Structures are given as C-alpha cells and as structure tokens.
Amino acid sequence: MPAASFRAARSLAAGFSVLALSAGVLSVPANASPPGAALPAVQREGQEGVRLHTNAELARALKRIERASHGRVDVRSIGTSNQGRPIWFATVGTGPTRLMYVTQQHGDEPLGTESALDALRTLGLKNDRASRHLRAKVTLGIVVRANPDGHHHRWRYNYDPDARPEYGEPGKGYDINRYHDPAVRPEDNPVPEAAAIQRRYASFRPAVMVDYHMQGRYAFPPPDGREITTSILWPTNPAVPADALKRSKQVGVRVYDAFTRVGAVVSQYPGGSYEGIARNAYGLRGAASLLVELSALPPERERFQVRTAYVSMVDLAHAAAAGALGRIDPARADRIPPRGPALPDDGGASSKAAQDHDHEDAA
C-alpha cells in the first residue's frame, strides 16, 4: 500500500466510531480503548509497535474484563501448557449461534491476541440495546493465546524439549497447528494445547471457527504492486463436507469485506490440505472454518493490523447475529486474488519470527 494511502486508512481505522457494514451498522464506542494500550503490557525492546501483554498481564486483563462486564463475559482455563500456564477461554453472549476464535497457536505471532482483548471489551462491556440483542443471538468463545509457553519463549512451537515431532523442532516442541486431526482423540494428542482446543470445540460446538495467525510480508505482482496486509483461506482438504466448505467461504467473504472496508489489502493464503491443520480439521468436523493471517508489517503499522483484525472479529459476530452469513455468495471467495511474492527481508519485525510461519500450510 502506498504510504499516503496507508496513512489515510490508518487514520480511518483509528478514528471511526461507526462502521457502515453490509448487514447493518457496527457501532464502535467512541471511548473504546486503543488496541493493546488500555491495560498493562510490555514493550518489545527496540521497537515502537503494539505493546504486547505478557502471560501474567493477559490473565489480569481478561479478569478485569470479566469483572467489568458484570457477568456478561466468562473467563476460565480450559487446560494448561507443559510449563503449567493456563490456556484461557473467554465467552460472551448466550445466543444459540456459536462462534469460536483462536489466537496465537504460534507463540511468535501475537497480534491476534491483542485484537481479541479489544473485541471482548466491545462485545462484553457495552450494554446498549444493540449489544444486548447481539449477545442474545450469539455466543462467542475465544481461546486467547493458545500457546502461552511459545509466547514466553518467543518462538513458534509449544514447550516440549523432549519432543521428537513430525511437525515442530526437536529440543523446542511441537507445532500446535499440526495436531488437530479429527482422527486423533484429545487423550492421545501429544500436544496439550491442541488437545485443549479439541476438547473445547467438542463441548462448545461452534458453527464458525476462525484461527488468527501471522505471516511474512508479501505484495501483489505488478501492475497492482500493493503490499498485502492480510491473507485468508478456508478448508482445502478434499474430504471436507460440501456444506461446511460453502459456509466457510461465506465466512471468508464476510471477513474479507470487513478487512477491506477499513483499508486492509487482502489475498488468498496458499494453504495445503493436511488434516491436522486447524483450518482443515474443524472444516472436516463440519464447522465453517477460516484461517486469517496478519502480515508482519513494521512496528509503526502494527496498530493498524490489530485494529483491522479487531474489526473482523466484531463484524463477524454482528453478521452471525443478523443471520447475514447465509445470504453471502460463496463463489466470491474464489475471486479473492492469490497472495503475491515475498518482499525482501528488511531485517525488522517481518523477518525471522513471522517468516517461519510461511511454511505453515505447505503439507
């Protein structure tokens, strides 16, 4: 995206109080906290981007939201990591339509977690008529930071130094987003974080499952040339039921529209068909399943990334509450342009940590 266009889009994303969206109007409170800044957080050394919550600060932030919601948000642990850290699951709403989001399966891909905190504040703390209506129609559950050990160690994998994984790195641990295969029971799963998500999915039974990750930096080829800020993809395993694939694409179109309305540049992610990847695994189970990849832009553009992901989370909940997803033409998903070539490594925020993710779906 040209610098001038990005500045305009960022200004729009940061300053709006009402977004006109196709299923109605999504209201964003004028006093909504700026992403990643309202609660205690740590600043990564040598950067000026979004302040990331440590694991301890994340727990406190979630509990503050729970208390401030007066019962509208429920926060509980659904399991523990190998190092004993809780895996948090926050729910808001009591409606019959259930949505489930997962953030930060890879420990070095943190921005979706910051977006989820802001989404919980908006959906759980507001108590106007529209918010009450949404919560009566929808129950949203979010696994907020699925990989607390990886976040602590600043690497992709969970923490399991004895692991000799098929997917992962010996001496570090497993790649959590390879261990959701529906054929593997949670009690047989060597990855406690993935097993916790499997169990929660089975008990929560969401109609929609969205998994937030990060990728490196890419651009569309000439003559377009714009830098891609987000990539998305639905299940690509051939055994996914046709109805689940259709609904996944409808969710993908809605998420695409929400991102692009606030200035994001969105492509299709070039994903594979391996059944252990969450995007495929939960599609195989019958959910509308979607992968979202936020590009690892320079630090000064991270707030824009957090804001756009937040908008996608809140907008999808509004669309589900309005019954709008079933009216979307799924064929539009196939017209989303494919991801272009990688940009040269600038040695900054987009380098090793996020570039590691780009073989995520290569199976």
pLDDT the model gives residue 45: 39
Tell which wins on pLDDT, 172 or 360. Answer: 172
Which of 17-31, 134-148, 158-172 is predicted least confidently?
Answer: 17-31
**3-state secondary structure at position 127:** coil
Backbone phi, then psi, for 342, in 5-degree steps? -70, 145
**77 forms bridges with which residues in the sheet?**
88
Summarize pLDDT for 288-304 with one digit per residue, the tens: 999 999 999 999 999 99
Is the CB of residue 281 less than 8 Å from the CB of residue 361?
A: no
Summarize pLDDT for 193-240 with one digit per residue, the tens: 999 999 999 999 999 999 999 999 999 999 999 999 999 999 999 999
pLDDT the model gives residue 346: 54
Q: State yes or no: pLDDT of 15 exceeds 90.
A: no
Which of 23-32, 72-81, 124-133, 234-243 is predicted least confidently?
Answer: 23-32
| Side chain identity at residue 137, one-letter code | K
| pTM across the whole model | 0.86
**Rounded Cα gap, residues 149 and 158, in angstroms:** 6
Which of 45-49, 58-62, 79-83, 113-117 is predicted least confidently?
Answer: 45-49
Beta strand 218-219 with 227-228: parallel, antiparallel or unpaired? antiparallel
Of 211, 12, 184, 207, the residue nearest 115 (C-alpha): 211
Which of 32-46, 63-77, 252-266, 300-314 is predicted least confidently?
Answer: 32-46
Q: How many residues does the chain have?
A: 363
State which residues form the domain around 39.
3-359
Question: Could you tell me what percent of the chain has a pLDDT over 90?
Answer: 81
Q: Long-range contacts for 31-34 (Cβ within 8 Å, ≥24 apart)?
A: 32/118, 32/121, 32/122, 33/118, 33/121, 34/303
Quickly list H helices, 154-277: 192-204, 242-261
Handedness of CA 51, 318, 62, 101 (dihedral sign): negative
Q: How many structural domains is the chain composed of? A: 1
Question: Which residues fall within 8 angstroms of residue 31, CB to CB, at 6 or more apart?
Answer: none
What is the residue whose two structure tokens read 């509004």?
A: 318
| Side chain identity at residue 311, one-letter code | V
Is the CB of residue 85 less than 8 Å from the CB of residue 28?
A: no
Summarize pLDDT for 242-252 with one digit per residue, the tens: 999 999 999 99
Q: Kindly give the interhelix angle for 111-125 and 129-137, rounded to the nearest 10 degrees.
A: 110
Q: Kindly give the interhelix angle for 3-15 and 302-321, rounded to the nearest 10 degrees.
A: 50
Tell me what the pLDDT averaged over the chain comes to: 87
Burial class (CB in 10 A: 0-12, 13-18, 19+), 127: exposed
Q: What is the CA radius of gyration of the chain?
A: 19
**Rounded Cα gap, residues 162 and 170, in angstroms:** 7
DSSP 42: B
Of 314, 315, 310, 228, the residue nearest 269 (C-alpha): 228
Q: At 216, which CATH number?
A: 3.40.630.10
pLDDT the model gives residue 3: 36
Is the CB of residue 203 less than 8 Å from the CB of residue 78?
A: no
**Rounded Cα gap, residues 162 and 51, in angstroms:** 32
Phi-psi region at 63: left, alpha or beta (left = phi > 0; alpha = psi -120 to 50): alpha
Is the CB of residue 265 less than 8 Å from the CB of residue 1?
A: yes
Quickly list H helices, the chain: 3-15, 55-68, 111-125, 129-137, 148-153, 192-204, 242-261, 278-284, 302-321, 352-355
Is the CB of residue 231 less than 8 Å from the CB of residue 266?
A: yes
